Amino acid sequence: MKKLLTCLVLGFSLMTSAQQLPGGLKGTVKDEVTKESIPFAEVRVLLGGELVAGVATDFDGNYSIAPLDGGNYKIEISNSSYAKRTFPVTINPGKVKVLNVEMSIEEQVLDEIVLTDDKLIEEGKTSTIKKAEDIANLPIRGTAGIAALTPGVQVGDDGQLRFRGARAGQNQTFIDGVKVRGDANLPREAIAQQEVITGGLPANYGDVTGGVISTTTKNPLPYFFGGGELITSSPFDAIGDRGYHYNLAGLTIGGPIWKKQVTDAFGNPSEKTIIGFLFSGEFQFDNDGRPTIDPLNYLKEDVLEDLRKNPIRASNVGLGTLSNAEFITASDLEQRYVRENSARNQVRLSGNAKIVTGQRSNFSIGGRFNYRN
């Protein structure tokens, strides 16, 4: 049976959204020696070398930047009297990262910063987050397979996930804040992070009584990039006549569609990406998705054909008939390592485009396509 799932997602993000809330960044900037607050220090958030957001600290040295889409950013903090600080920061959707920085004068260099609120488990909510770097190193694919690695999640004999003993039908899957039914698998390179919530569910997920799998896809970047992946077992399957033939091909491309000159938050001219895109796709073929270490017994083709033509024979006692299948012997069988009628094809596509409509607003459109037979 062929299963087809298409999902079109439209999102308009201002300060909040229905399910997938943006993240943020806040903190305090102080002098490394005197511990006094540094007012009017410039805090810049860069993505791929492009300024995404920026503010100046207030009189108490505090700053706050929101909203920020989940992802990996470079943060620059500078002041005319101090050495500029630059370091990477990961922003998680729906969470505010706290970054407290101590700065030195130009001649000094600091090696340490204070970075907090990067917990994988929040107070009041039991959840585990796996980021793109973690997912890339896992030996499995698919949102369900990743979720199965979470403590408190069991996989039943039917392959369905159960959170802390709850029924499989009580779970919900969200992609970019949108509830998804059916096959929710995505190309691995399209996943920015996946959060699995097993307890203490926030109110924005509704009346879920099981668990929640919340997946965030990657955003378009302000520079062109791409990558491909090819995995095959076919050359090795020929050894020993296994014939499993696991083959997977993946492609990811993205970048800006339109850029224009703008004035940034500090009054400086800069080039900003107004429209960007990201596309990721995977094609997978398995001759047998559940290979066995022990061979399976099958009727030889000529014996099977003979049974089709002559399914019965006359009884040797002269009454009735007997099934010829009852007279099969070991010599009529052959051993194979691949189950019949188990070959499958899968196509997973994911794409999105982001349009910047203002300093703190953007419009996103995305879609996902899953095909399996």
Residues 81, 56 within the same domain: yes
**Structural domain ending residue among the three candidates 183, 201, 217:** 217
Residues 133, 110 within the same domain: no
CATH number at residue 191: 2.170.130.10
Q: Is residue 3 part of a domain?
A: no
Whether the model clears a pTM of 0.75, i.e. scores above it, the answer is no
Ranges of the chain whose pLDDT falls below 70 = 1-20, 106-124, 240-241
**Structural domain ending residue among the three candidates 217, 247, 280:** 217
Which residue, 166, 215, 207, 168, is CA-closest to 190?
215
pLDDT at 6: 40
Q: Is residue 327 part of a domain?
A: yes
Range of the domain at 93: 16-116
The tally of domains found in the chain comes to 4
* Residue-by-residue DSSP string for 242-290: ----EEEEEEEEEEEEEEEEEE-TTS-EEEEEEEEEEEEEEEEEES-SS
Which residue, 37, 21, 17, is CA-closest to 29?
37
Residues 280, 358 within the same domain: yes
Residues 99, 212 within the same domain: no
Q: Is residue 145 part of a domain?
A: yes
What are the tens digits of pLDDT across the range 254-312? 999 999 888 877 778 888 899 999 999 999 998 887 777 888 899 999 999 999 999 99
pLDDT at 310: 93
What are the tens digits of pLDDT across the range 326-370? 999 999 999 888 888 888 999 999 998 989 888 778 888 888 898
Residues 174, 201 within the same domain: yes
Q: Is residue 270 part of a domain?
A: yes
Residues 146, 181 within the same domain: yes
Residues 24, 53 within the same domain: yes
Residues 108, 130 within the same domain: no
Greatest extent of the chain over all pairs of C-alpha atoms, in Å: 110
End-to-end CA distance of the chain: 6
Residues 105, 132 within the same domain: no
Q: Is residue 303 part of a domain?
A: yes
pLDDT at 8: 39
CATH number at residue 102: 2.60.40.10
Q: Is residue 1 part of a domain?
A: no
Residues 179, 196 within the same domain: yes
| CA distance to 160, 197, 203, 290, 326, per residue, from 168 (Å) | 6, 14, 20, 22, 42
Q: Is residue 181 part of a domain?
A: yes
Residues 354, 253 within the same domain: yes
pLDDT at 319: 81
Q: Which residue has the tokens 């054909």?
A: 305
- Contact (CB, 8 A) for 194 and 146: yes
- Supply the DSSP symbol for 220: P
Q: Is residue 8 part of a domain?
A: no
pLDDT at 42: 94
pLDDT at 29: 95
**Structural domain ending residue among the three candidates 169, 198, 217:** 217
Residues 44, 178 within the same domain: no
